[in-house]
A = this chain, B = another copy of it.
Amino acid sequence: MPLNETEKLAQIVCPLFAEDDGVKVELDNGSTATNILGVSDQDDCSAYSLSGEQTLVFGSDYVRGPKFSLYENGHIGNYDIGWYLAGANLSDIAAMGAKPLGLTSVVRYPREMPENEFAQVMRGIRDCCREHGTQNVGGDIGTAERLILCGSAIGVVEPGGLLRRSRAAPGQVVILTGSTGLAGAAMKYGSRYTPEQSEQCSEFQRLITKWRRVQPRFGHARILSRFGAEVGACVDTSDGLRGALEEVCKRSSVGIVIEDSLVPRDPGVELLAGILGLDVLETIFGDSVDFELLATVSEQAWPLIREALQSEGLAVHMIGTVIEGDTSKLQANGMLSSIPGTAWRH
């Protein structure tokens, strides 16, 4: 007999999450947010005690498991998809410059799903939250005809430190926290080759961790947040780099010129693109869910921001500039062309 919902809560979910209850977040201005009700309380909601001025952020993301090729063909397991659920939701919090307060996860499972597979999803959620200093504080479990995964996350940031999509301005420089295209190249490779066939390809094994261990860029985000109005726009690249660029242009009513020679190229992306016959630039700019941050910052603050990031060991690349206009372009050898690739469509 499979465990029912109440038994799963008591035997699997609470033991996993309860020891993380009670996380306290302190902001630079002394404001605090402390978890006072978590999973182990099994109340109608989780609860936090808040003190002082702060900006709260709140977002939700659905995650495919079934109907997503990498999960269906075994490249991503149940632990990985749990981690992904938490990571994707936390990345939205990071993109606002906030510290995470907590996550709720909706995990609906088919009746016949073995307990250990359900527990693996939960463990992935727990470990991703823990890695980023936060906790799963609630959610909803129960049966459905297939695995259904949704999450929501909340976070807090100092007033004035909120990072938005809408404040890019001409003259700012465009920065990126890491190479893109890794997740997209891994997805296309993994859709063509089975896990067994992929075992020998060490670059694929490295790139697939982009899916298995999403890492929201809280380190970068919190430093950017401290620069306040020196930061124009910030968005995560969960719709791909081209998608992120288009979004900043649209929300901020600006144009962007990306300098081809400045765009970071991961050798694994070039290798997999070669194997698969893909265009490298289309892979870098296209539908790759890398969860990097794309931001625009004032020219004066850029050296300080670079130094602040690098002194924490955090990578950053200046890849272009904000101009008057309404779209983004790629410049190579002085020639402007459209940004390659297509944005991720959910």
B-binding residues in A (CB < 8 A)? 4-5, 33, 36-37, 41-62, 64, 67, 91-93, 95-96, 98, 102, 104-106, 108, 137-145, 148, 150, 152-156, 159, 162, 164-166, 235-236, 251, 345-346
Contacts and interface: CB of A to CB of B under 8 A. Distances in A.
Contact of A62 (B47, B142, B162, B164): B142
Given A60-B106, A235-B44, A5 B164 contact: no
30 contacts: A5-B345, A5-B346, A36-B55, A36-B162, A37-B57, A41-B164, A41-B251, A43-B164, A43-B166, A43-B251, A44-B57, A45-B58, A45-B96, A47-B57, A47-B58, A50-B50, A50-B55, A50-B56, A50-B156, A58-B104, A58-B152, A60-B104, A60-B106, A60-B139, A61-B106, A67-B144, A140-B150, A141-B346, A148-B148, A150-B150
Nearest to A236: B44
Nearest to A139: B60
A59 B5 contact: no
Contacts of A152: 58, 60, 104, 152
Chain A at the B interface: SS class: strand
Nearest to A165: B43
A235 to B, nearest CB: 6
A104 B346 contact: no
A46 B162 CA distance: 11
B44 A150 contact: no
A99 to B, nearest CB: 13
Contact of A42 (B102, B140, B165): B165
A53 B51 contact: yes
Contacts of A51: 53
Contacts of A48: 55-58
Contacts of A142: 62, 345-346
A42 B153 CA distance: 16
A181 to B, nearest CB: 21
A96 to B, nearest CB: 5
B96 A44 contact: yes
Given A48-B56, A106-B60, A150-B62, A41 B166 contact: yes
Given A37-B164, A45-B98, A50-B156, 4 more contacts: A4-B345, A49-B55, A58-B152, A60-B104
A45 B235 CA distance: 10
A339 to B, nearest CB: 16
Contacts of A145: 67
Contacts of A44: 57, 59, 91-93, 95-96, 165, 235-236
Nearest to A91: B44
Interface centre among A5, A58, A61 (most CB of B within 10 A): A58
Contacts of A159: 49
A58 B37 CA distance: 10
For the complex of A and B, 3 pairs with smallest distance between CB atoms: A142-B346, A45-B59, A152-B152
A51 B51 CA distance: 8
A54 B58 contact: no
Contact of A45 (B41, B93, B139, B346): B93
